[in-house]
Structures are given as C-alpha cells and as structure tokens.
Chains A and B, each alone.
Chain A
Amino acid sequence: MLAFLLASFLFQTPTPIGRASVTPDSPQPRTIAIDEALAARANLKVGDRVSVSARPGVVGDTVIVGAIVRRGADPSEVARGDLLVRMHLDQLQAISGYGDRVDRFAIATTPGADIPRLIDRINRVAFGFKAYESREIAVETSRTFQVVSRFHRAIGIITIVASSVFLLCIMVLKVDERRRDIAALRLMGISRATVVRSIIIEAAVVAVLGSALGVVLGWIISQIVNWHYQALYQTPLAFSIVTPPTVIFAVALSLVLGIAAGVVASLRLVRTPPLALFGR
C-alpha cells in the first residue's frame, strides 16, 4: 500500500533525492511515487533508483521510482513550488525518525453516516488528537485562496465599472451618429415613440450581439489562462471557469446598459427639432 506522504512532513523535514548507488546484493528496493515537477527537475523517470533521506547530505534508503503522478487540484499548494513524494508509511516513519506516528488520519464513512455524531464520539474518547470534518479543514486551509478570491471580485467590480462606462459611451456615440437618419424619419412623420422604440431595439440587438461575441472571446481567453497557469504551476486546478451565471450576468448587464444608453441618446435626439439635427 502506498501511503500519502503528508505535505506538512515535507515542509518540516526536507527529503533530498538523488541518484542512488546500490550494490548488486542489495535487497529489492521499495517503490515511491513522485510528482511531475520533481520528475522534471531531477530528470527522473519510472524505474530509476534514488536515495531518500530526511537529512541533507546523508545517503538514505534506496528506492525505485514506481510512478510519476499529477498532483491534485489543491489551491493552497499552488505557487508554493513544493515537490511531493509519496512513499510507504512505515518507510517514511523509519527514515524520518517519526516512530509509530502520523500527522493525521483520513476516515472514509459509509454513505448516510451521521458525521457530526461520529466526530463527537471520536472527540469524546480520543486522547491526544481531535477529529474535524473535512469541510472545516478545507475552510481553514483555503484562507489564502479566499483572499485571492476577494481580490478577484474587487478587480471584477472595477472591470465592470470600466466596461459599463465604455459600453455607455459607445452606445451614445452610435446613436448620436444616426442623428441625420432620425431627423429624416421625424420629417417623414414617424412618431417620436416609434423612433425611440426602433433605437432601443437596435441598441438591444447590438448589445446582445456584442455580449455573445464577448462570451466567446471570454471563453477562449479562459482556456488560454487555464492552459498557461496549469502549465506554469503544474496543477490541474482550473483558474478560470465560464459558468452559466457569469454568462447570464454579462449578457444581462450589457443588455441593460445598451438599452439605457439607447433610451438616453434617443430621448435627447427626438426632443431636438429635426432641422436642428440636420445642422440647419
């Protein structure tokens, strides 16, 4: 059984990995799994023999690289640049001098189990450790990510303000450019309400088409962002996700802004005498 080498152990006792020199009569070494980053940095491949030790410069146990694994999508590990090794629990305990100890136990429960009751029961009988629900640990370890998330939200608000002003400006300009057409329509006897309605419909169509193009562009950029950061941090974590609520929000916002701009600009134009719109 391959035990998970807890990340916290790696932080506490750096495990140097180098090429092993083993004699032919050595017993068959055990296997370890290493992550892609370590494999790339140390130029290791499956089947290589390496020496692992808890102390720098000390030749430790010889092991064979049995697998190269892709790390899980854990936001708290992104950008730390740590290298991860998974090895047999008893071997890790031996080389680290940890004894018969572990940093934590992970417990899988049967479907439908009463988790709070189980935790309460463990905590009542436990001596020297405490049980937590996985969700509680996730909240605690993702504090860094929560800060990044708040930062993204703030940047998002600024971006929305900027794009709102931009959209408003473009729509006003677009309607303003039609002043002569509107003057002609008014001189032909088309009512103010009809002119306003036609401009609003036009503005709404432009806003919807623009936002549809924006959604496609956003999705492409999102793919590029994920491709870039997943390669940079060697993680399967999704950095950017285009969700239906995001799309609905973007389309609705541009539609509202487009219509608002259309209303403002068209009302201003229909109140101006047609000849004045012609510049006469």
Chain B
Amino acid sequence: MRAALAQASLTRHRGRTILAVLGVAVAAAMLLDMVMLATGMRESFRELLLSRGFEIRLAPKGTLPFDTDATIPGVSAIIATLRTNPDVREISPVLGASIHVLAGNRDVSGSVLGIDPSVQGDYELLSGQDVAASNFIVGNDHLLNQLGAHIGDTLSVAIGYDPQTRTYSGQRKLILTGRVKFIYGANDQSSAAVRRETLEAMGGQNHDRASLFMIRVRKGADAERVRDWIEKQLPNVTAISIATAIKQVDERLSYFRQLALILGAVSLFVGFLLVTTLVTVSVNERAGEIAVMRAIGVSRSHVVEQIVIEGVAISLAGAVLGLALGLVTARYLNTILSAFPGLPMAIDFFLFQPRAAWSALGLLIASGIGAGVYPAWRAASLPIAESLRREAIA
C-alpha cells in the first residue's frame, strides 16, 4: 500500500522525477568512481607487489626501488647474511642500468635488468626462451617494436654511455631469445633483461652490486619481523615490506585519496540535497492530500514511511543507473591516469571491487533515507484542520 502510494506520487510528475533520478545517477556515478579511486589504487598496488610472491624488497638506504641510480655493494655478502635467517626462502638480486641497443644507424635507449632467471620476479615470458646463457637477452614489445627485431636476431647492446667521449663502457652482441612482459614496467618504456653477470661484465665497475633485492619469506613467517631483522643486520639498505611500500605509495598519492574523499562527500551531499528538495516540494504540493489521509485515520508512521520510500526509490533508481555510468567514467578516468610517466602497466587507479559498489550503494540508500526524513517529519506534523481549511480556500 505504502509503496503503491509512493509510486503514484513519483509518477504524477514524471519529468521532474526523471530529472531527479538523472541528477542522483550522476552523483552516484561520481561517488562510485571516488570510492573506487580511494580503495582501488592501494589494492591494485598491493596485488602488483604480491603478484610474484616477494614480500620484501631491499633498496639502497633512503631510496625506493629504482627511484635512483644508486646500487648496493657486496651482493654475495648480503645473500650470505640473509641466508642465515631461516624465514628467508628465496633471494632475487636485480641490477638495473640504462641500455642502448644499436640497430644499423639507430640507437634505441631503454632500461635493462640484470637478473638470475631461476628466481627472478620482474617479468613473464610471453614467447621464446629465457636468458639461459650469458649471451642471451629478452625484451618487451616496446623495445622489439622500436628495433623492428624478432626472436633469434643478434643485437648490439651497449651500456654506460659517456656523452663527453661519446663512447660506451661496455658493448657486446647478444641473441634475442624471448619476448617478455615486465610486471613493474611502463607501457611506453623499452626494457630488456639479461643475466646479472652479463650486465656486471658489461658495466665494468659494477661488480657484485645490485639495485634491488627481492625476498620471499617462508610460508607462515612474519614478513614484518624479517624486515626488522634485515634492517638491523644490513645498515646500508632500506628494507621495504608490502605494508611499508603501500604506506609510502599512500603518502605519495595521498592527493588522489583526499580528492576522492572530498569529491565523494560532495557527490553524496548533492544527491542528498536533490532528493530532499524534490520530496519536500512534493510534500508541500500534497499537503491537502496528506491532511485528508490523516483526517480519515491514516497513522503518522504510515505517512512517514510512504515519504521515506519515495526518497529511497529515487536514490535507488539513481544508484542503479549511476553504477553503469560510474563504471564507464571510471574506465575513461583510468585511461587518463594510466598515462602517468613510468607507471607500471598493471596499476589501476580505478579498480572495481564489489565492496566498493556495495559501499556506494549503501551510502546512497542511507542518504535517500536521510533525505526523506525532513519532508516526512514535516508531513507527519502537519496540522490537519488548518491544512484542510487552507486546501479548501485554495
């Protein structure tokens, strides 16, 4: 009965109701996007870090992995120290450098990782063969496209460019054996990987150095405890666990989280205001009707429920429409932010999670109920006799 009356009231002014639903839909879309932005970035980053099961990363003291060109000396000694902790399961040292691949008259520059293929966690092999020998190299699609190279080609690879003498510190021929996808690499970045000893030999002075260590801990071990132990044992490194990495990224990207919070709150408030205004106007117009209902014995709670249902119905309809609209706009906004220079391909700023959708829906329904409360209170407290008299005079 209450629902039927609410429906009748909403369909009486179709145009007005449709406009209100549209307004709530846009606000709901914005709210969903902002909830996705606030939670998705962190979740996406966490998934990325955990994708290969390495819970701890070691970077040169005071830096984040590959944030600088600094390297950590004494790889063998560090590995020996780490091996003394039974909770450390696997260690993957990685050396990074700038690379120049010379193809005819062209010089394609990019980055190269020196890795141990048996424990590496930086890339996935898409086709071909991994760097099984010291004269093998694998590259990503961007590098291969830039070079016009194919698996099996021999590439002239150089590192350590000195702009003053226009010479390289190391140059050698390597066979392109595989096509890979770098997990932490950006779309617009040419990247390659070779064995660490190959890169060290080419670098000349980079012996027994690494830019980064990635560490897998034993199943069930407390990664934070291992991290604390490493920081005590190795004063020259910064040990970063997933939790600390997320905290650091949170600090850097706090702007987006705060923006999401502010815009989400504004969207919710706009939706609330719209529904409140519409239902209040509707109640004012129907003051006579409501007075008649009350005069023939309809209870206050019945009137209140009917009006709250109207508010919730508008919010719900707007939310459903807004969900679809929100997903489309989130995809568009994500495409814009994906163009951040150096951002890993796998990072999504807007990550759809059912929890985010439920949160947005819950907030909208709560706001719909809240929006109906004031007009419902006004309707329930209408003086019956006076309202009827005013209606009769009008």
Complex: chain A residue closest to B61, CB-CB: A56
User: For the complex, is A172 an interface residue (Cβ under 8 Å from B)?
Assistant: yes
User: For the complex, is A14 an interface residue (Cβ under 8 Å from B)?
Assistant: yes
Q: Which residues 147-161 of A have a CB within 8 angstroms of B? A: 147, 150-151, 154-155, 158-159, 161
Complex: chain B residue closest to A268, CB-CB: B15
User: Do the beta carbons of A154 and B252 come within 8 Å of each other?
Assistant: no
Stretch from B17-25, B77-85, B297-305, B363-371 that touches the partner: B17-25
User: Do the beta carbons of B251 and A81 come within 8 Å of each other?
Assistant: yes
User: For the complex, is B329 an interface residue (Cβ under 8 Å from A)?
Assistant: yes
Q: Mark A123-155, 1 if CB is under 8 A from B, else 0.
A: 000011100000000000001100100110011
Which of A16, A56, A151, A169 contacts B23 (CB under 8 A)?
Answer: A169
Q: Mark A209-249, 1 if CB is under 8 A from B, else 0.
A: 00000000000000000000100100000000000000000
Report the Cα distance A13→B62, complex, angstroms. Answer: 10
Which of A57, A154, A172, A278 contacts B336 (CB under 8 A)?
Answer: A154
Stretch from B26-34, B110-118, B177-185, B353-361 that touches the partner: B26-34
Which of B22, B60, B165, B341 contacts A165 (CB under 8 A)?
Answer: B22
Q: Which residues 233-285 of B have a CB within 8 angstroms of A? A: 235-236, 251-255, 259, 263, 267, 270, 273-274, 277-278, 281, 284-285
With A79-B254, A158-B29 as known contacts, state yes or no: A12 contacts B336, CB within 8 Å.
no
Which of B16, B69, B236, B270 contacts A57 (CB under 8 A)?
Answer: B236
Stretch from A87-95, A173-181, A190-198 that touches the partner: A173-181
Secondary structure type dominating chain A contacts? helix
User: For the complex, is A168 an interface residue (Cβ under 8 Å from B)?
Assistant: yes
User: Do the beta carbons of B70 and A13 come within 8 Å of each other?
Assistant: yes
User: For the complex, is A122 an interface residue (Cβ under 8 Å from B)?
Assistant: no
User: For the complex, is A98 an interface residue (Cβ under 8 Å from B)?
Assistant: no
Q: Shortest CB–CB separation between residue B344 and chain A, in angstroms?
A: 15
Which of B22, B163, B336, B394 contacts A150 (CB under 8 A)?
Answer: B336
User: Do the beta carbons of B16 and A176 come within 8 Å of each other?
Assistant: yes
Complex: chain B residue closest to A141, CB-CB: B341
Report the Cα distance A79→B251, complex, angstroms. Answer: 7
User: Do the beta carbons of B62 and A162 come within 8 Å of each other?
Assistant: no
User: Do the beta carbons of A14 and B60 come within 8 Å of each other?
Assistant: yes
Complex: chain A residue closest to B34, CB-CB: A155
- Residues in A with CB closer than 8 Å to B251 are 79, 81
User: Do the beta carbons of A14 and B62 come within 8 Å of each other?
Assistant: yes
User: Do the beta carbons of A165 and B164 come within 8 Å of each other?
Assistant: no
- Residues in B with CB closer than 8 Å to A22 are none
User: For the complex, is B387 an interface residue (Cβ under 8 Å from A)?
Assistant: no
Complex: chain B residue closest to A221, CB-CB: B262
Q: Mark A54-73, 1 if CB is under 8 A from B, else 0.
A: 00110000000000000000
User: Do the beta carbons of A128 and B270 come within 8 Å of each other?
Assistant: no
Report the Cα distance A80→B252, complex, angstroms. Answer: 6
User: Do the beta carbons of B341 and A143 come within 8 Å of each other?
Assistant: yes
- Residues in A with CB closer than 8 Å to B20 are 169
Q: Shortest CB–CB separation between residue B201 and chain A, in angstroms?
A: 23
User: Do the beta carbons of B27 and A127 come within 8 Å of each other?
Assistant: no
User: For the complex, is A11 an interface residue (Cβ under 8 Å from B)?
Assistant: yes
Complex: chain B residue closest to A130, CB-CB: B163
Report the Cα distance A177→B280, complex, angstroms. Answer: 11
Report the Cα distance A144→B332, complex, angstroms. Answer: 18
- Residues in A with CB closer than 8 Å to B26 are 158, 161-162, 165
Q: Shortest CB–CB separation between residue B317 and chain A, in angstroms?
A: 14
Report the Cα distance A192→B373, complex, angstroms. Answer: 38
- Residues in B with CB closer than 8 Å to A232 are 254
User: For the complex, is B166 an interface residue (Cβ under 8 Å from A)?
Assistant: yes
Q: Mark B29-45, 1 if CB is under 8 A from A, else 0.
A: 11001000000000000
Complex: chain A residue closest to B237, CB-CB: A56
- Residues in A with CB closer than 8 Å to B163 are 128-129
- Residues in A with CB closer than 8 Å to B339 are 147, 150
Report the Cα distance A162→B263, complex, angstroms. Answer: 12
User: For the complex, is A170 an interface residue (Cβ under 8 Å from B)?
Assistant: yes
Report the Cα distance A169→B255, complex, angstroms. Answer: 32
- Residues in B with CB closer than 8 Å to A158 are 26, 29-30, 33, 329
User: Do the beta carbons of B284 and A177 come within 8 Å of each other?
Assistant: yes
Complex: chain A residue closest to B25, CB-CB: A165
28 pairs of residues in contact across A and B, judged by CB atoms under 8 Å: A11-B63, A13-B68, A14-B70, A56-B61, A57-B235, A79-B251, A79-B253, A80-B252, A81-B252, A128-B164, A128-B165, A129-B163, A147-B336, A150-B336, A151-B337, A154-B332, A158-B33, A162-B26, A165-B19, A168-B19, A169-B16, A169-B278, A170-B277, A172-B16, A172-B19, A173-B278, A176-B13, A176-B281
> What 8 A-B pairs have minimum CB-CB distances, sorted nearest first?
A128-B164, A56-B61, A14-B62, A162-B26, A165-B23, A11-B68, A128-B163, A169-B19
Q: A56-B235, A147-B341, A170-B274 are in contact. List 7 more A-B contacts (CB 8 A).
A: A56-B61, A147-B340, A154-B336, A165-B26, A166-B23, A170-B277, A176-B281
